[in-house]
Amino acid sequence: MNSGETAVELTAGDRAWLTGEHGEGAALAMRLVVKMAEVARAPRLRDITQAHIDSCLYHGQAGLDFAERLLGGGATVAIPATLNVSSLDLLHPELVRLDDETRERAKRLMDTHVAFGCRPTWTCAPYQLPDRPGFGEHVAWAESNAIVFANSVLGARTNRYGDFIDICAAITGRVPDSGLHTDEGRRATLLLRLEGLSDELLDAEVLYPVLGHLLGRLAGSQVAAIEWLPSDTSEDRLKAVGAAAASSGSVALFHAIGVTPEAPTGESVIADGAREIVVTAADLRAAREELARVPGGAEIGAVSVGTPHASESELRRLAALVQDERPRVPFYVNTGRGQLAAVGSVADDLADAGVRIVTDTCTYITPVIGGVTGAVMTDSGKWAWYAPSNLGFNVALGSLEECVRSAAAGRVIRDEQVWA
Amino acid sequence: MIEGWMLVDGSAAGHALVLEDPLSFWGGLDPSTGEIIEAGHPQRGEVVTGRILVMPSGRGSSSSATVLAEAIRAGTAPAGIVLGEPDDIIVIGALVAAELYGVAIPVFVASPDGYATIRDGDQVSLVP
């Protein structure tokens, strides 16, 4: 890799990183950041204030070799950095079924990232931590659901960072100045206009992962705007839209007009010549059928909620719901250790009701759910998208309340009226 | 001679494996065998090892970078990659493997006209 000549305009500070003034590990990290800038045809690099790192999730020996090369070269993070979920649940290790060798390597990869100075947050929802980025703040986030939340709901600015490059950005504090870091890159080239949806459907929690699924299908990697969502749509519901859209598509930013902070009006965010698509209740019904085929009344063998990690308010709601209706089938909730600590005794209420709490990881990326016959129900569009291929389950989709009622009954109970 | 942009330097020669659809290495390539395993991919079952892999673009998760680096480490990777458009995930996987294992897999973006002339099985050489 030739670091001597580049079309990217580098500062004296950038060059000092390249020549090894901050150590060999840091020089390697900067070489990769500069190369990314060349590929993106970015004119220069820019500062970031924080990073969220996904490279701590074990996918094979190469990831561990890279992290250990950086660490051996003395690299540490230059800015605050949080860590995504990994393959292990450190608080509840008995829940994850991996062979010893993989477990040992996964643990070494996690330890290496802590040694860089990253905070051991082990959550896919860093936006639920207290020091999340503010409007207009430039960050380097990995993890598709976190990226779309940061850009869309917080109005922070990040490209889709991922394996290897996320930690390089955190080590150098620099990223290519391109794409979603620029005003131009954030304008919507697709407009979804919701038409004729009943108030009941707009009020139904299950609409949001389904809408996200359809958004991902239609948008691919484009920036999209959505018109006519309720102005008081909650963060948890926007989280569900984004996570699903970043699974069925590569959506990194959507503007909900009149809801998300960058889009007070359509004019402020929609690019000239944007394509417009009308979305009806029938389109959404079809999207739900495509995403999760298991019908009402079908037997279920387990329930998994909290993908992305359950927020404090979702944990409290779940605890109240299972108080009245205890699950008869295994019921898993994924959450961050930070959220779990924040809800205090609610965690005990959940455990007392038989809910299995999974932290640090997620039930769709590492083997947790075992010995299940029948379908699995979830409230998550992302889980519904990945579980059939990752885990081989058939999936039913419902609201959190419907998941609890179904777990008590052992079969899918859901309100079909809202889709009428 | 095909015009284009060498994203990752290196030399390679081999027979072209021209993919009709983009391949997501994560979930689509088995790095222990070099076999395409993506469900529904038109060329599922083909082996990329030692070929010049030609595809219109990259696709899917950033974890594809690790899978490519892993294939290079295991010796199952293509000899070189020709793309129709730049892809940073493929580039970073190839660069990291070059740094770690000293194996340079060139990544080249062909001009649209040049890309269209490459046929499956053609002998292709990539030179810096």
According to DSSP, the β-strands at B80-83 and B107-110 are parallel
Give the distance from residue B19's alpha carbon to the nearest chain A alpha carbon, in angstroms.
Answer: 20
Sort out which chain A residues have CB atoms less than 8 A from B72's CB and list them.
62
Task: Please give the ipTM for the structure prediction.
Answer: 0.93
**pLDDT beyond 50 at A1:** no
User: What value does the mean pLDDT take over residues A329-338?
Assistant: 96
Write out pLDDT tens, residues A19-49: 999 999 999 999 999 999 999 999 999 999 9
Torsion angle of alpha carbons A369, A370, A373, A379, nearest 10°?
Answer: 0
CA distance A184 to A271: 9
CA distance A156 to A56: 23
In this structure, of A255-264, A328-337, A389-398, the range with the lowest mean pLDDT score is A389-398
Question: Looking at domain B4-126, what is its CATH homologous superfamily?
Answer: Phosphohistidine domain (3.50.30.10)
- The whole-number pLDDT of residue B52 equals 98
Minimum Cα–Cα distance from B72: chain A residue: A62
Residues of chain B with pLDDT under 50: none
How many C-beta atoms surround the C-beta of residue A199 within 10 A?
9
Q: Is the peptide bond prior to A308 cis by the omega test (within 30 degrees of 0)?
A: yes
Please state the domain extents for chain B: 4-126
Minimum Cα–Cα distance from A31: chain B residue: B95
C-beta separation of A207 from A277 below 8 A: no
β-bridge partners, A17: none
Write out pLDDT tens, residues A204-229: 999 999 999 999 999 998 999 999 99
Write out pLDDT tens, residues A316-325: 999 999 999 9
H helices then E strands: how many in chain B? 4, 8
pLDDT band at A391 (very low <50, low <70, confident <90, very high): confident
CA distance A181 to A105: 35
User: What value does the mean pLDDT take over residues A333-348?
Assistant: 96
C-beta separation of A228 from A195 below 8 A: yes
CB-based contact B92 A32, cutoff 8 Å: yes
Q: Distances from the Cα of A90 to the Cαs of A81, A130, A352, B118, in angstroms?
A: 19, 22, 21, 50
Buried b (16+ CB within 10 A) or exposed e, A113-147: beebebbbbbbbbbbbbeebbeeebbbbbbbbbbb
**Which chain B residues have any C-beta within 8 angstroms of a chain A C-beta?**
7-9, 26-27, 31, 39, 60-67, 69-70, 72-73, 86-89, 91-93, 95-100
User: What value does the mean pLDDT take over residues A12-16?
Assistant: 98
The shortest CB-CB distance from A36 to any of B9, B88, B98 is to B88
CA distance A149 to A243: 8
CA distance A358 to A368: 9
Q: What is the DSSP letter of A418?
A: G
- The whole-number pLDDT of residue A2 equals 43
Alpha helices in A343-380 (DSSP H): 346-352
Minimum Cα–Cα distance from A64: chain B residue: B66
Sort out which chain B residues have CB atoms less than 8 A from A35's CB and list them.
91-92, 95
- Percent with pLDDT over 70 in chain A: 99
Structure tokens at A34: 């500069």
Assess A2–B contact: CB distance below 8 Å, yes or no.
yes
The shortest CB-CB distance from B92 to any of A57, A144, A165 is to A165
**pLDDT beyond 60 at A4:** no
- The whole-number pLDDT of residue A392 equals 86
CA distance A383 to A402: 16
CB-based contact A163 B100, cutoff 8 Å: no
- The whole-number pLDDT of residue A158 equals 98
CA distance B54 to B81: 6
Structure tokens at A329: 């089938």
**pLDDT beyond 80 at A271:** yes
Element (H, E) at A305: strand A300-310
Sort out which chain B residues have CB atoms less than 8 A from A63's CB and list them.
66, 69-70
CA distance A190 to A186: 12
Q: What is the DSSP letter of A39?
A: H
Minimum Cα–Cα distance from B96: chain A residue: A66
CB-based contact A62 B9, cutoff 8 Å: no
**pLDDT beyond 60 at A401:** yes
B61, B62, B64, B125: which is the annotated catalytic residue? Answer: B61
- The whole-number pLDDT of residue A3 equals 42
- The whole-number pLDDT of residue A363 equals 83
Domains and CATH numbers, chain A: 12-178 (3.30.499), 187-289 (no CATH), 293-419 (3.30.499.10)
Q: Which residue has the tokens 């079952």?
A: B45
Q: A264: closest CA among A299, A227, A212?
A: A227
Torsion-angle region of residue A173: left (phi > 0), alpha (psi -120 to 50) or beta? left
Q: Distances from the Cα of A105 to the Cαs of A32, A73, A98, A116, A228, in angstroms?
A: 24, 20, 11, 17, 48
The shortest CB-CB distance from A59 to any of B8, B9, B67 is to B67
- Percent with pLDDT over 70 in chain B: 100
Complete DSSP assignment for A212-253? HHHHHHHHTTS-EEEE---TT--HHHHHHHHHHHHHHS----
Buried b (16+ CB within 10 A) or exposed e, A218-232: bbeebbbbbbbbeee
Probe site for chain B from A58, A141, A163 (most B CB atoms < 10 A): A163
**pLDDT beyond 60 at A199:** yes
The reply to whether B63 belongs to the active site is no
